[in-house]
Structure 1
Amino acid sequence: MAVVGVGIDVVDVARFGESLERTPGLRERLFTPDEAGRALASLAARFAAKEAMAKALGAPVGMAWHDAEVVNESTGRPVLLIRGSVKAQAAALGVATVHLSLSHDAGIASAMVVLES
């Protein structure tokens, strides 16, 4: 296994909340229905995960927000489910494993993605 890509992103939770309030439809554009109902800090962390995934993949044009979805295993561990445009780019890079870490504290949400072949 080799590292194919690494991405990290940090989101100011309050500022992200203001963006969601100011822009009707943004929540639905960024998040799947299962993600959309979560608390603000969790949404900010999930947005950071999607941004980190895009960075790890080299920020290809045409990626769809809903093609990367953060879900939790029964243990609570976050996992990125990828499909469509994200899965196609991952396959093109030879990605076999996606690692995800999320955090939110003190008004900041962060995510790190590591892609392995």
Structure 2
Amino acid sequence: MIIGIGVDVCQIDRYAAAEQRRPGFSARWLTPAEVALPLSSRAARFAAKEALAKALLSEGGLRWHDAEVTKDDHGRPSFLISGTVAARAAELGVDRVHLSISHDAGIAAAYVICERLDS
């Protein structure tokens, strides 16, 4: 059963401008491993976290270092969740989080589906 769906898009140049205007902007939203990535990947991870908040039906209170976008050996992205994000997922009965991210033509996009596996 689908618990929530979230989508977000981020203009990469707008994200870059936010980083320049506000020192520490990326460090506020992204983990150290994510901050070390290229600009387009940072923007995609920002979009992924926004999409995750929507899929978790969040009204705030989530710490974004509690959701890290990682990739497996084949390059498929997924979330490593802990703390406040894991607690919200458990509260909703989420068993699986699906993530798709992409960046092209100056736009980063992310799509998240939170699912409960019914037995």
TM range (shorter): over 0.9
Give the RMSD, CA atoms, in angstroms.
0.7
Per-residue CA deviations over 1:24-83 (Å, capped at 9, x if unaligned) read 111111111111110111001000000000000112321111011001101110011111
Secondary structure of residue in 2 paired with 1:62: coil
- Measure the CA separation in 2 of the matches of 1:48 and 1:85: 18
- Measure the CA separation in 2 of the matches of 1:67 and 1:79: 13
Q: Give the AA of the match of 1:113.
A: V
**What is the aligned partner in structure 2 of residue 15 from structure 1?**
14
Shift of 1:110: 0.2
**What is the aligned partner in structure 1 of residue 44 from structure 2?**
45
Secondary structure of residue in 2 paired with 1:60: coil
Q: Give every structure 1 segment of 4 or more consecutive aligned residues whose post-TM-superposition deviation is greater than 3 Å.
A: none
**What is the aligned partner in structure 2 of residue 27 from structure 1?**
26
Using the size of structure 2 for normalisation, the TM-score is 0.95
Ranges in structure 1 where 5+ consecutive residues have no aligned partner: none
Q: Give the AA of the match of 2:114.
A: L
**What is the aligned partner in structure 1 of residue 87 from structure 2?**
88
Q: Give the AA of the match of 1:103.
A: S
- Measure the CA separation in 2 of the matches of 1:68 and 1:80: 6
Using the size of structure 1 for normalisation, the TM-score is 0.97
Q: Give the AA of the match of 1:12.
A: Q
